[in-house]
A and B are shown apart, each in its own frame.
Chain A
Amino acid sequence: MGAVSGMADDGRAELGTASSGAEAKDGGFDAALGAAWLTAAADAVAREAERLSMLDAAIGDGDHGTNLKRGFAAVAAKLAEGVPATPGAVLVLTGRQLISTVGGASGPLYGSLLRATGKALGETESADVAALAAAFTAGVEAVAKLGGASVGDKTMIDALSPAVEALRAAAEDGVPTAQALDLAARAAEEGAQETVPLRARKGRASYLGERSEGHEDPGAASTALLLRVLADAAA
């Protein structure tokens, strides 16, 4: 991780957002931040794997933590070999790794999220909050299309959707990157908590009907975790 944070300092030279009086070092979302985020995510997911699997065991098949841990370990190993030049390429690479290594539904879902977000970022070297919000919107749309879930179905969409909204609002308000990502993480955390009383309408948990109520959705929980790690990496 030392090497990655070292790169982050080199990579974030120029200003990404418009309204950055106080935040002179706001370099936006660049390849170094992306790599720092996803490498730290591997540690965070490994640390939280048991909690995520316990949430999944309550309403699913109990492998969410182990699956994500395997996937993000593969991502971190890939990024350790070399970080692509653009943040979009970092996300596309990560998405592909997750799709081919996770083995559960979260592989295609997170894989599609990151791949679609990465593709939407295009060739930009550093995305400001507005560009990131737009790309992230495309990513969340890809997840919704693949899984067929909407807000309120007790899935990762319940954390992703408010996070995207928060990011869009932050872009309109001219909030700098680090603060915008913190707002997005908070929105995801609240969204994940709000899945507790819901009845699952998608995925394995939907077979449980009303017995799925009273449990936090594991996919929403891991989404909140990953966005918190991103906010921390940008802080």
Chain B
Amino acid sequence: MNEYGNRTLLQCENLTKCYGSTTALEHVNLALEGGRIVGLVGPNGSGKTTLIKLAQHLLTPSEGTILVGGMAPGRETKAIVSYLPDRDFLPQWMSLADVLRFYEDFYTDFRRDRAEEMLANLQIPNRTTIKKMSKGTREKVQLILTMSRDAMVYLLDEPIAGVDPAARDYILRTILTNYNPEALVLISTHLIADVEPVLDEVVFLKEGQVVLHQNADALREETGKSVDGYFREVFKC
């Protein structure tokens, strides 16, 4: 057993989150271990983003607890979690060089050489500002920054939504070739077919509740369907 692998890195107990009268997550119990790539799948509004935001302390639970690396989300967990939000989050005025310096300054586990190597493939000049980048390039840059950390937990919220199929391949390749193999990678998505090949486990969320948490291979074997096929069956409208 390595430092993080096979150790529970994300644990939810009776986790509930309400926005006013709307319940986004309801009594979620979940334990995810290191060394796994886990797909957090479910239709829009099923609570995927809420769960990730709770893990990153961007939201606070209405009830229950969530632990990351055995700690309540906060300053300490943020040092070991690499988070990719589902939207543009980098300051528009910053240049690529500014962003690299920013990550290097704040994250001790940031590997600048790794980021620069990947960015070189995109051929973006260092002086280009985030504002001037295309949406696809921005998303790739954000992913590269996230994956260039030697984190214990990677929380990737919809990393392939809104980009073309070629870019999706690039993003998945980037995740696979750069993540710390002892870490937990949690990928939230509703585009299951694209991420299915890389998943070790899947968690199905439906109306804020975990309806399935299983090994991806075992699921395919049991149901005789791909994860995507089974998802379509479970969430059939």
Co-assembled chains A and B? no
Instruction: Report B's interface with A, CB cutoff 8 A.
Output: none
A residues neighboring B (CB under 8 Å): none
